[in-house]
């Protein structure tokens, strides 16, 4: 089975020196890639800039901006069985890129931002055959936000985590996940190493996909 997995942050340049980004380390996405490879699946790992090594068996595609990630994932959509959108894509980018370094201002500085493409919603709005897994990093109203994103983004499964908890989520080696499926109660995966959670999550993804395929036949 072929997996396409996104991981890490994206960066939106302000000028040749500065950029907008977020705290995503890529550890969760890389752990899912490693878990899939352990089970002898084929993995295409589409990664934003991170400071960790990719599993050597994965086909690694490095990207920087959200548009680069969208292009890379779009190219894989028709060829994968499972798409795992674990990357933390910047929600905004500068309205204009400055080709030269902006000089430091003495007073307040204003930067106009515009929304970036919603990659997941863009991909699922077109016909596709792959099983789509989305991720939702939340700091409040986790269940409400994740359930809404599951429906709005047309995912088969949504994975949510509370990144406001100390020692969990972004930058951390541990996480605590809540799994959302259409017409089912949320399933909580207790705090554990991301490598352990990735193996459990992989089983849930594969079992859910198999049930969906069985119902269709």
Say what the pLDDT of residue 166 is: 85
Is 28 inside a domain boundary?
Answer: yes
Q: Are the beta carbons of 69 and 90 closer than 8 angstroms?
A: no
Per the structure, the complete domain to which residue 206 belongs is given by 2-94+112-216
Say what the pLDDT of residue 23 is: 93
Say what the pLDDT of residue 217 is: 59
Is 39 inside a domain boundary?
Answer: yes
Secondary structure of residue 91 in the 3-state scheme: coil
Q: Are the beta carbons of 152 and 180 closer than 8 angstroms?
A: no
Is 100 inside a domain boundary?
Answer: no
Q: Residue 86 half-sphere exposure, CB side, CA atoms within 13 Å?
A: 29
Number of domains in the chain: 1
Q: What is the pLDDT along the chain (217 residues), one digit of tens a residue?
A: 999 999 999 999 999 999 999 999 999 999 999 999 999 999 999 999 999 999 999 999 999 999 999 999 999 999 999 999 999 999 999 999 999 999 988 888 899 999 999 999 999 998 899 999 999 999 999 999 999 999 999 999 999 999 988 888 788 899 999 999 998 999 999 999 999 999 999 999 999 999 888 876 5
Q: Check which CATH number belongs to the domain holding 212 and give it.
A: 3.40.50.10300
Is 19 inside a domain boundary?
Answer: yes
Q: Are the beta carbons of 131 and 2 closer than 8 angstroms?
A: no
- Triad 112, 11, 96: Cα angle to 5°: 30
Is 105 inside a domain boundary?
Answer: no
Is 200 inside a domain boundary?
Answer: yes
Q: What is the pTM of this model?
A: 0.95
Is 107 inside a domain boundary?
Answer: no
What residues act catalytically? 22
């Amino acid at each position: 089975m072929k997996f396409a997995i996104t991981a890490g942050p994206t960066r939106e340049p302000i000028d040749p020196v500065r950029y907008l980004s977020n705290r995503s380390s890529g550890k969760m996405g890389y752990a899912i890639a490693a878990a899939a490879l352990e089970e002898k699946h084929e993995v295409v790992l589409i990664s934003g800039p991170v400071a960790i090594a990719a599993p050597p068996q994965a086909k690694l595609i490095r990207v920087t901006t959200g548009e680069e990630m969208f292009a890379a994932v779009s190219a894989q959509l028709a060829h994968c069985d499972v798409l795992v959108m674990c990357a933390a894509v910047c929600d905004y980018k500068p309205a204009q890129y400055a080709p030269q370094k902006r000089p430091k201002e003495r007073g307040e500085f204003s930067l106009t931002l515009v929304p970036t493409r919603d990659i997941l919603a863009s991909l699922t709005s077109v016909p596709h055959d792959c099983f789509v897994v989305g991720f939702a990093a939340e700091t409040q109203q986790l269940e409400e936000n994740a359930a809404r994103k599951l429906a709005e983004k047309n995912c088969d499964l949504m994975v949510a985590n509370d990144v406001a908890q100390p020692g969990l989520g972004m930058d951390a080696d541990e996480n605590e996940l809540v799994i959302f499926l259409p017409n089912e109660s949320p399933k909580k995966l207790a705090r554990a190493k991301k490598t352990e959670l990735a193996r459990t999550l992989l089983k849930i993804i594969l079992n859910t996909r198999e049930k969906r395929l069985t119902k269709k036949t």
